């Protein structure tokens, strides 16, 4: 009797426990979009830089960031692994700054378990891991031993396959070589401080920048030389030329293969059309251009106007672009040496001007570089230019508003109407926006009293833009729109990147791989990304005619636009849906199922046989 009663009681306890667990699981809200994550606000008095430098002030700030970050991870079921990695990464840095090396290492293991890309699974947080291992070994020491950190990092790298991690190591080396106090604190001084001066608070959008600034300043910067030398030694031991899979796949069309000319539009920051001669769509001898300025007002000119301070400095801008590219490729060129010295030695007074010059230079040259890729090897291609302007200042200009969003919407439809008027068949769009960028801009501009208010405004402005863009694309079913997936290493659909997350039968999103087909560390991904192309150190033109290799999904997208135009050159009857089908079906899917590498030679053969 007593035994039966005990059994019944235990059964009841177990049932209650299961019920409580189920209820607890049900209470965890599932997050399917980045914009639905909760927002938090942190009070900061005085200078943010002082908070970054002060152990005591930072500890008080960090406790709030830790509480909220742990609360989000515990209270929400976040579908996106990248978002979870980022949240855990903030906690790992906080653990390290509190000298809790065991917990730092455990967090890094968790971050790596959430990685999808092979290189990231091996290398994620490798510098932080080396520092934590050295800290654990030298428990009680006031500062990390640089030799111990270097040895730990070397041990991390040694057993890893060079072919997989090469690009990441080169990028890491470039990053530490550029590290300097002005770069570390520049964003704090020029971006975060104005927010605090105006509101007295900073949101969870910018709080991680403060955490990372303290880590970089007090922990990583003193180890700069140890990191740089370790990476340099590793790369020196592995001077192996990576296998280029693209040369054998590529195809240059012969004039005899061309059935009809193809209008290829580059919807970007403008193009130096003088570099492309007779291949440009012209009227009355002049290149046909549809242009809008950064306020979405009709404009003129095929390139953005140079600000007064940059007049006569196009050559210098091009050299800096080449220098940054060479640094990331571990090429020891004069341009790389100059930009390394320039950026690592910046003074606080020069930070804003330096960053804005680099950003303007990137915008100014972007469209020309993309156009060179889109037209390569295709005598049938005829270039049509759609120019838009991107802001380059650290403070957003213009600030988001409903009026601007509505002008954006009208401009998008006007651009697509222009495409239809001039018979465009393929359009490349190597740009993106997302709802989070609207929120960040609103906070910097001091618009919206609370995170909730900014969230609502951002959603409204974003939906105006996204709806207009999707409607414009849908109004031109005969045109194939090709877009880059983005460079945030996120699921493009989760962060609602547009155009990359839009689903339409005449739109394809492209991810980036390198010359050997390895997934690029920066590339975004997700269900809308149908194919991948080379986006790592791709050579093309800058305005004025110099050539430089640049990396990004911006460089992979025009590879696909290039291929689509070649398919139309040999078979003009193909529809956008047929173009997508051919490119996807002839692509090679990698064993991990993540990458679908375009194969231009196979695709052109398929299109020719179907003509």
Q: Is residue 367 part of a domain?
A: yes
Is the Cβ–Cβ distance between 508 and 482 less than 8 Å? yes
CA–CA separation, 244 and 235 (whole Å) = 19
Cβ neighbours of 411 (radius 10 Å): 20
CA–CA separation, 238 and 240 (whole Å) = 5
Q: Is residue 235 part of a domain?
A: no
CA–CA separation, 379 and 456 (whole Å) = 49
Q: Is residue 332 part of a domain?
A: no
**Structure confidence at residue 328 (pLDDT):** 87
CA–CA separation, 92 and 110 (whole Å) = 10
CA–CA separation, 495 and 501 (whole Å) = 9
CA–CA separation, 489 and 46 (whole Å) = 34
Q: Does 429 lie in the same domain as 284?
A: yes
For residues 249-271, b (16+ Cβ closer than 10 Å) or e, as one string? bbbebeeebbeebbbbbbbbbbb
pLDDT, averaged across the chain: 93
**Structure confidence at residue 318 (pLDDT):** 86
3-class secondary structure, 560: helix
Sheet holding 424-429, edge to edge: 298-299, 289-292, 381-387, 262-268, 424-429, 480-484, 507-513, 529-534, 596-597, 588-589
Mind listing the pLDDT tens digit for each residue in 411-468?
Answer: 999 999 999 999 999 999 999 999 999 999 999 999 999 999 999 999 999 999 999 9
Q: Does 363 lie in the same domain as 219?
A: no
- Three state DSSP letters for 461-497: HHHHHHHHHHHHHHCCCCCEEEEECCCCCCECCCCCC
**Structure confidence at residue 408 (pLDDT):** 97
**Structure confidence at residue 611 (pLDDT):** 63
Give CA torsion, residues 29, 33, 38, 39, to 10 deg: 180
Is the Cβ–Cβ distance between 364 and 317 less than 8 Å? yes
Q: Any bridge partners for residue 268, and if so which? A: 387
**Structure tokens given for 292:** 């809008």
CA–CA separation, 92 and 532 (whole Å) = 32
Q: Is residue 215 part of a domain?
A: yes
CA–CA separation, 555 and 540 (whole Å) = 9
Residue with tokens 């193809």: 262
Mean pLDDT on 587-594: 93
Note down the domain range covering 93. 10-171+200-223
- 255-261's contacts with Cβ under 8 Å and 24+ in sequence apart are 255/379, 257/569, 257/570, 257/608, 258/379, 258/380, 258/569, 258/570, 259/569, 259/570, 259/571, 259/572, 259/611, 260/380, 260/568, 260/569, 260/572, 261/380, 261/381, 261/382, 261/569
Residue 499: cis peptide before it, omega within 30 degrees of 0: yes
Q: Does 269 lie in the same domain as 218?
A: no
Q: Is residue 36 part of a domain?
A: yes
CA–CA separation, 78 and 36 (whole Å) = 10
Q: Is residue 187 part of a domain?
A: no
Mind listing the pLDDT tens digit for each residue in 70-120?
Answer: 999 999 999 999 999 999 999 999 999 999 999 999 999 999 999 999 999
Q: Does 423 lie in the same domain as 537?
A: yes
**Is residue 9 scored above 90 in pLDDT?**
no
**Structure confidence at residue 314 (pLDDT):** 85
Q: Does 415 lie in the same domain as 363?
A: yes
Q: Does 534 lie in the same domain as 419?
A: yes
**Is residue 497 scored above 50 in pLDDT?**
yes
Mean pLDDT on 371-383: 98
**Structure tokens given for 581:** 């089908």
- The CATH number for 282's domain is 3.40.50.200
**Is residue 554 scored above 90 in pLDDT?**
yes
CA–CA separation, 470 and 459 (whole Å) = 16
Q: Is residue 23 part of a domain?
A: yes
Per DSSP bridges, beta strands 381-387 and 289-292 are parallel
Q: What is the DSSP letter of 519?
A: B
Mind listing the pLDDT tens digit for each residue in 387-423?
Answer: 999 999 999 999 999 999 999 999 999 999 999 999 9
Q: Does 204 lie in the same domain as 293?
A: no
Q: Any bridge partners for residue 384, and if so which? A: 265
CA–CA separation, 348 and 365 (whole Å) = 27
Mind listing the pLDDT tens digit for each residue in 260-305?
Answer: 999 999 999 999 999 999 999 999 999 999 999 999 999 999 999 9
Number of domains in the chain: 2
**Structure tokens given for 46:** 């005085």
Mean pLDDT on 514-541: 95
pLDDT band at 26 (very low <50, low <70, confident <90, very high): low
Is the Cβ–Cβ distance between 125 and 92 less than 8 Å? yes
Q: Is residue 407 part of a domain?
A: yes
CA–CA separation, 460 and 464 (whole Å) = 6
The backbone torsions φ and ψ at residue 543, rounded to the nearest 5 degrees and listed phi first, read -55, 135
3-class secondary structure, 385: strand
CA–CA separation, 205 and 50 (whole Å) = 20
**Structure confidence at residue 143 (pLDDT):** 83
The backbone torsions φ and ψ at residue 209, rounded to the nearest 5 degrees and listed phi first, read -65, -35
Half-sphere exposure of 104 (CA within 13 A, CB side): 21
CA–CA separation, 385 and 428 (whole Å) = 10
Mind listing the pLDDT tens digit for each residue in 165-182?
Answer: 999 999 999 999 999 999
Is the Cβ–Cβ distance between 368 and 543 less than 8 Å? yes
Q: Does 116 lie in the same domain as 206?
A: yes
Residue with tokens 């040496």: 337
Cβ neighbours of 530 (radius 10 Å): 19
301 φψ region: left (φ > 0), alpha (ψ -120 to 50), beta (else): left
Q: What is the DSSP letter of 536?
A: S
Residue with tokens 């009208």: 410
CA–CA separation, 215 and 96 (whole Å) = 9
Q: Does 377 lie in the same domain as 259?
A: yes
Residue 488's alpha-carbon distances to 307, 428, 491, 552, in angstroms, are 29, 19, 8, 10
Q: Does 59 lie in the same domain as 119?
A: yes
3-class secondary structure, 530: strand
Residue 317's alpha-carbon distances to 85, 267, 301, 331, 503, in angstroms, are 35, 22, 20, 18, 37
Q: Does 165 lie in the same domain as 252?
A: no
Q: Does 395 lie in the same domain as 251?
A: yes
Percent of the chain with pLDDT over 70: 95
pLDDT band at 51 (very low <50, low <70, confident <90, very high): very high
């Amino acid at each position: 009797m007593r035994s039966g009663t005990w059994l019944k009681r235990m059964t009841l306890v177990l049932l209650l426990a299961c019920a409580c667990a189920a209820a607890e699981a049900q209470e965890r809200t599932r997050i399917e979009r980045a914009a639905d994550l909760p927002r938090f606000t942190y009070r900061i008095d005085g200078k943010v830089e002082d908070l970054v430098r002060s152990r005591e002030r930072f500890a008080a700030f960090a406790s709030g960031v830790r509480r909220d970050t742990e609360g989000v991870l515990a209270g929400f079921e976040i579908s996106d692994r990248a978002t979870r990695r980022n949240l855990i990464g903030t906690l790992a840095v906080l653990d390290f700054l509190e000298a809790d090396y065991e917990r730092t290492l455990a967090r890094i293991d968790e971050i790596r378990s959430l990685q999808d890309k092979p290189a990231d699974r091996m290398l994620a947080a490798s510098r932080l891991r080396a520092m934590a291992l050295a800290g654990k070994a030298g428990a009680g020491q006031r500062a990390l031993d640089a030799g111990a950190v270097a040895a730990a990092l070397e041990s991390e790298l040694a057993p890893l396959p060079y072919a997989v991690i090469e690009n990441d190591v080169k990028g890491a080396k470039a990053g530490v070589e550029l590290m300097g106090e002005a770069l570390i604190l520049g964003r704090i001084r020029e971006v975060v401080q104005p927010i605090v001066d105006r509101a007295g608070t900073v949101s969870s959008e910018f709080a991680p920048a403060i955490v990372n600034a303290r880590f970089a300043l007090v922990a990583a910067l003193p180890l700069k030389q140890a990191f740089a030398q370790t990476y340099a030694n590793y790369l020196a031991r592995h001077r192996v030329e990576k296998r280029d899979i693209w040369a054998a796949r590529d195809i240059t069309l012969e004039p005899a293969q061309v059935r009809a000319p193809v209008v290829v539009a580059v919807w970007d920051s403008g193009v130096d059309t003088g570099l492309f001669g007779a291949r440009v769509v012209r009227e009355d001898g002049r290149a046909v251009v549809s242009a809008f300025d950064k306020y979405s007002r009709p404009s003129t000119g095929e390139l953005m106007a140079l600000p007064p301070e940059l007049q006569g400095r196009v050559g210098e801008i091009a050299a800096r672009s080449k220098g940054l590219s060479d640094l990331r490729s571990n090429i020891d060129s004069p341009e790389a040496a100059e930009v390394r010295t320039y950026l690592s030695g910046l003074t606080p007074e020069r930070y804003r001007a330096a960053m804005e010059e680099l950003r303007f230079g990137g915008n100014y040259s972007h469209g020309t570089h993309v156009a060179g890729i889109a037209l390569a090897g295709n005598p049938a291609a005829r270039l049509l230019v759609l120019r838009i302007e991107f802001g380059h200042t650290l403070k957003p200009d213009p600030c988001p508003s409903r009026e601007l969003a509505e002008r954006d919407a009208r401009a998008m439809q006007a651009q697509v109407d222009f495409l239809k008027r001039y018979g465009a068949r393929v359009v490349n769009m190597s740009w993106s926006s997302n709802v989070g960028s609207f929120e960040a801009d609103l906070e910097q501009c001091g618009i919206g009293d609370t995170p909730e208010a900014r969230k609502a405004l951002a959603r409204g402005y974003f939906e105006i833009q996204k709806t207009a863009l999707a409607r414009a694309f849908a109004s031109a079913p005969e045109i194939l729109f090709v877009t880059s997936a983005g460079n945030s290493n996120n699921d493009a659909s989760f962060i609602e990147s547009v155009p990359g997350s839009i689903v339409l039968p005449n739109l394809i999103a492209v991810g980036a791989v390198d010359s050997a087909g390895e997934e690029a560390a920066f590339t975004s991904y997700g269900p809308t990304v149908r194919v991948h192309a080379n986006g790592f150190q791709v050579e093309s033109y800058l305005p004025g005619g110099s050539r430089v290799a640049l990396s990004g999904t911006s460089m992979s997208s025009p590879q696909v636009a290039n291929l689509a135009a070649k398919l139309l050159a040999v078979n003009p009857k193909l529809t956008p849906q047929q173009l997508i089908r051919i490119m996807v079906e002839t692509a090679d899917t990698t064993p991990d199922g993540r990458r679908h590498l375009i194969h231009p030679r196979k695709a052109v053969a398929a299109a020719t046989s179907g003509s």
